[in-house]
Structures are given as structure tokens and as C-alpha cells.
Structure 1
Amino acid sequence: MAHTTLSDPRVDAGTKNDAVALRGLTKSFGKVQAVKNLDLSVKPGEVVAFLGPNGAGKTSTVDMILGLSKPDAGEVTIYGMAPHVAISRGQVAAVMQTGGLLRDLTVRETVVLTATLFPGARPADEVLERAGILNIGDRRVGKCSGGQQQRLRFALALLPDPDLLILDEPTTGMDVEGRRDFWNAIRKDAATGRTVIFATHYLEEADAYADRIVLIREGEIVADGTAAEIKNLASGRTVRATVTHLDREALTAVPGVDSIEERGDGVLIHASDSDAVARYLLTATDARDLEITSHNLEDAFLALTSSKGIS
């Protein structure tokens, strides 16, 4: 499926004005082509969610942005520079799913030690406060929860005061409260103008915190736009109602009906013309408690990243 850009075109020649520019990016592992001629531009200050199912090519793309692997073809530039140059200048930092934290050090000792790697690093207490863990600075890392350790990785990423922050599944293993607190810290920091690109399996995070969502399937971008624009690609709506005696054959004949699910005395109808379905139910049946809902981000994600995609 072709790359669908939903709002103003963002893919351009890839200049120094882009925070990240990917041009014709291709990466294979043996016979498996993980990334296929991918083009993407991210402007400074954007918060971009990079979404796709397992094996879609997200991690392979992130690894190439971070200079952890080289593309077979194409180019990656960060603020007009090669990844290793931008990283050496402290313009890029990352919060990954896991990382080599030393369990016997305290939180503050970990930050102070890591700060020695960056000339002009931000003060330890400043990044701890911005990550929301200043109050546990004296706690040993091994005694921290998974969410607290992820916040510590966030604090470490802030030390060089990067222009670009990459987050790869940063809240995996966190509970609901931990995820919310982590994202509040990220969003507050992003409000200063930092560019953020994050990959996540939690679609509600993308819906709540991203300015823009990029969907990837089988190594190719299939949609690119705001959360509202992405949702609109999953055409149709869902009609729910309680119906005592349902004539399934008659309902199927209503224009726009795509599928019907019966659940006890309730019915769930997916339809491209929800108004026609509602009129039928209200005039030809004893339907009550009728409700019409639009598709959510999960519906769009499944439709766009399935093997068939949206035609």
C-alpha cells in the first residue's frame, strides 16, 4: 500500500531543517526485507508516534536512526547530519525498553556517573526533577520499580539536553499509574520544544500524547497524520442496540451493513451508513438503547496494518 500522508505534505528533500529525514531507507535480514524504501520527515518540536505490529520494521528503523545499524540503501540524517555526528554532539538521546543499569548504585549515583560522559551535562538534580524521581535519589536502582527505572533512563537521556529524544516501547512492564506519570513527565519536557519520536504497543498513549502518528506495515509507511485523521481512515461506524426479535436477513439487506454480531438480546452492527441502519432499527424493530460510535485508533490500526490493509 502506498504511503498516505493525511495532512500537509511533510516529505521533502530532507534538509537541515528536518529533525529527522529518512530517504529511501531499506534494510534486509537475509531474505526478510524489514524496511522497504521508506521516506519520512520529522520537523523540530514534533511529538511523533511510530506504530506498527510486531515485525513491521519499527525497531529496525529506530536502530538506523540511532546509528546502531546501517541501511542497505537510502539515507538517514538528523538535523542535516549523519546519526553518529549528531549523537557525538549530544543532540540525540534514547530511552529503550531495557538498559544496563547498575543495581547496586543509587539513582543519583547513576546519574552523576553517567554525566561524566557528556561535556556540559545538565545538573543531576535538574534531570532527576524533570523525570519526577528527585525524591528517590538515594534509593538503590535494584530497589526501584520498573516504572522508576524507566524514569531513571529518561533522566539519563536528558543529561546532554538533546534536541531529539527517541523512545522505544518506554512503558513496557509499567502499571497504569506508572505509564501515566511517565508520559506526563515526557510531555512536560517536550513542551520545551524537544522533538520526540516514540514506538509503542499502547495505542492509547499515541492517541493521548502524539501530535502525529505514523503507521508502518511490512516495512512500509501506510498512513501519516494526526490521531483524528488516522481514525477517519477506518471508514464506517458501529451501531449498538437492544432488539427483542431481530430479522437478521432483513438487517443484512439494509444498505451499508458490513457485519452483524448478536450478543444475547443485543446487536452490534458495523456499517458504512449508520444512519440507514438506525432508521431501520427504530422504524422496523423494537430497538431501544441505540448507540452509534465512530471507530477508534485501535480500529484504524487493525484496518491499516492487517495483511490486506485498506483498499
Structure 2
Amino acid sequence: MRPVPFTADPLKVTSTPLASLRGVRRRRGAVQALDGVDLALPAGQVTALLGVNGAGKTTAIEILLGLQPADAGEVTLFGRHPSDLEARRHIGVMLQQAQLPERLRVDELLALTRSWYPQPRSVADCVALGGLDGLLDRRYGRLSGGQQRRVQFALALCGRPKLLFLDEPTTGLDIGARQQVWRAIRSLVADGVGILLTTHYLEEAEALADRVVVLDAGRVRADGSVGAVRAQVAQRRIRCKSVVPADVVATWPGVRSADVIDGQLVVMAEQAESVLRCLLDADPRLGDLEVQRAGLVEAFVAMTATADGMTGSKQEAA
């Protein structure tokens, strides 16, 4: 792999991405985990990398972090190879699985992590961004799963990273803690930090992401803003109160699905007009009608649907 030329101060380069994959391929046994993937991570933006289990998200992240090599293509981190120490000093990482010394207190973990960096973030800032009030004197192993995730998030910020990798950061968090992480992410982005976010909560991607990249079976299926990704799927969501059974509506032409949710009939359709005419003909007293463009959830499901109608690839986890 040939990295792009390194400049004197890569962090001041705004016309090039902080990190990138270009035509990257990676095979793991019989599975083509990545198949010609292009991915660029700019400063001051949240890039949401979405895909079902086995789509290639973890492989892409590990290659960007230098944890495994690419079989082909170019990989750069601040203009250098991902294994370069100078480049790695400017990243923060929060992975799904973290092995931390359980006997250490939270303040000891912060002190240890901060000692690795020449100009670390202050303890007060780490506590504020991670929501660690009241946890500093607690042993890590005695914390709940959600509290441990908050500690891991704070540790990823200790080095004032210019690029932050967040792999399912809010899994296991309650609503309040999740909102705290969201506020911290928005604050970091406002300061120019680039963030790569993976999440199974599509509403999280919709709320935070400037850009969405959908991976399926190791290939990029969509790359653009949330609105642009939604626009690639010509579906409409129809909500109403109706006496027409959902299983009847599901058989109509152009209807992808029909369900009753919270007492309302919810229909996903390719075109709203024809379905609305059928609904009004079948139920003249239809009420509380609402028609919306499909959200990111529907777009994601449609893009990762296989020929047999099931979502996602059948590859092994990648």
C-alpha cells in the first residue's frame, strides 16, 4: 500500500481527509470482508458507518487503526500509514469490547491514559464530556455496564484526538447517559474533530451524522447525507386510523408492508397516491392521515435486503 505524501503538519490540512480507504480489499478465509471500499473521514463531521453484522464495518475500522492489513488498496491516517506512531497520537478509540484493569479506580484509569499524551485533556473536561461525576473514586470492575461505557468514552478523549473512532458507543446506556454522549459528540465536532460512528441505533445516526455510509457484504451501497440516503429509496410511510385490516392492505399492489402500531395503520408503499385511493375507497371514514418520506431505517433496510427478503448479508461477522 502506498500512502499519500506526508505534509509537515497533517492536522492543518483541511482539503484532504483525516483518514481514508481507497479501493481497499480484505479477505478473511472464504469471506470477502471488504470489496473495493472507498471511505474518507473529514474533519469536523460525523460519518456514520452502517451495516448489519458481517457487512464489513469492524474490518474497515481495524484496517484504519492498523490492527489488520488490507490485501489491496490504499490506507492513510493523517497522510501516513495507520501503524505510524505520530499519526496514532492524534486518534481516540472506543471499541465495542474493552479490557481494562478492573481493580483500578476511574481516576487512576484517567491518570494512566492521560500520561500517554504530551498535552492531554484536563481531568475536569474528561469528567464533563464522559458524564463521570461521582465515579472517580469507584473501581472500574464495580461499575455497571453503562457506567463502564461512559468511562471508556472519556478515556478515548484523553489525548485531545483530532479523529475519534466510536464503535457502538451508546450500547447499554440509559436515555440520560445517551443524551450526554450525544451532547459531547456535537461539542467535539464543533471543535473540528472528525468522528467515525458505528451504531445499531439508526435514530442515533439520523440525529448525529453529517454523512452516512452504508456497507453491505463488503461493498459501499450508499454514501451521502442522511437526506440523500433516504432519497435513494422511493418509499412513503402512510399512517392513519382505519378499519381496513393490515393483512388486507399488505396484499395491495405497491405495498411493501402494513402493520398496526400504537393503534394506527402504518403502510410502507412505493407510491402513496394509489394506496391512498384504495384506502379511501375501502374506508371513507379514514382519519388522522399522515404521509411521510421513508426514514433512514427504511432506507437502510431496503439497501441491505437480500433477494429472499431478509436483511443483511449471510457472511460471517467481519
TM-score in same-fold range (> 0.5): yes
SS, match of residue 277 in structure 1:
helix
AA in 1 matched with 2:208: Y
Relative to structure 2, which stretch is displaced further, 219-228 or 282-291?
Answer: 282-291
Q: Taking structure 1 as the reference length, what is the TM-score of the superposition?
A: 0.84
Tell me the secondary structure at the aligned position of residue 193 of structure 1. Answer: coil
In 2: Cα distance, 1:55 partner to 1:195 partner = 25
Tell me by how many angstroms 1:212 deviates: 0.8
Aligned twin of 1:160: 159
Distance 1:161 1:172 in 2: 23
**1:305 and 2:304 matched:** yes
Please tell me the residue identity of whatever aligns with 2:254. Answer: V
Aligned-pair identity in percent equals 37
Q: Distance between the aligned counterparts of 1:145 and 1:283, measured in 2?
A: 55
Aligned residue runs from structure 1 range 116-195, under 5 A: 116-195=115-194
1:4-62 CA-partner distances (Å, limit 9, x unpaired): xxxxxxxxx97862111211111111111100011122221111100000000000000
Aligned to 1:282: 280
Q: Residues 281 and 25 from structure 1, CA distance in 2 versus in 1: closer, same or farther, beyond 3 angstroms?
A: same
Alpha-carbon deviation of 1:202?
A: 1.0
CA distance change for structure 1 residues 306 and 86 in 2, over 3 Å: closer, same or farther?
farther
Matched, 1:258 2:255: yes
Deviations 1:248-288 (A, max 9, x none): 999977xx633464769975543333123324433564241
User: TM-score of the superposition, structure 2-length normalised?
Assistant: 0.82
Aligned residues: 295
Per-residue CA shift, 1:58-97, capped at 9, x if unaligned? Answer: 0000000001000111111022111122665511120111
Query: Secondary structure of the residue that 1:93 maps to in structure 2?
Result: strand
In structure 1, the partner of 2:314 is: none
1 CA distance for matches of 2:44 and 2:260? Answer: 46
Distance 1:89 1:41, change over 3 A: closer
Tell me: CA distance 1:35–1:286, structure 2 relative to 1, closer, same or farther (3 Å). same
Q: Does structure 2 conserve the Cα–Cα contact (< 8 Å) formed by 1:86 and 1:92?
A: no
How far apart are the structure 2 equivalents of 1:262 and 1:127?
45
- Shift in alpha-carbon separation, 1:63–1:87, aligned structure 2, 3 A: farther
In 2: Cα distance, 1:251 partner to 1:143 partner: 50
Deviates more, 1:134-143 or 1:209-218: 134-143
Task: Tell me the amino acid that sits aligned with residue 271 of structure 2.
Answer: D
Alpha-carbon spacing, 1:79–1:242, altered in 2? closer, same or farther (3 Å): same
| Greater Cα offset, 171-180 or 263-272 | 263-272
Helix, strand or coil for the counterpart of 1:136? coil
Taking the TM superposition and a 5 Å limit, the aligned residue runs for 1:187-266 are 187-244=186-243, 257-259=254-256, 261=258
Higher mean alpha-carbon deviation, 29-38 vs 223-232, is at 223-232
Gaps of 5+ in 1: 1-12
Taking a change above 3 Å as real, the CA distance of residues 206 and 268 of structure 1, as seen in their structure-2 partners, is: closer
2:35–2:218 Cα contact (<8 Å) kept = yes
Matched AA of 2:93: A
Is the CA contact (8 Å cut-off) linking 1:66 and 1:83 kept in structure 2? Answer: yes
Q: Cα RMSD between the aligned structures? A: 2.9
| Number of the residue aligned with 2:23 | 24
1:273 to 253, 259, 271: 271
- 295-304 or 278-287, larger mean C-alpha shift: 278-287
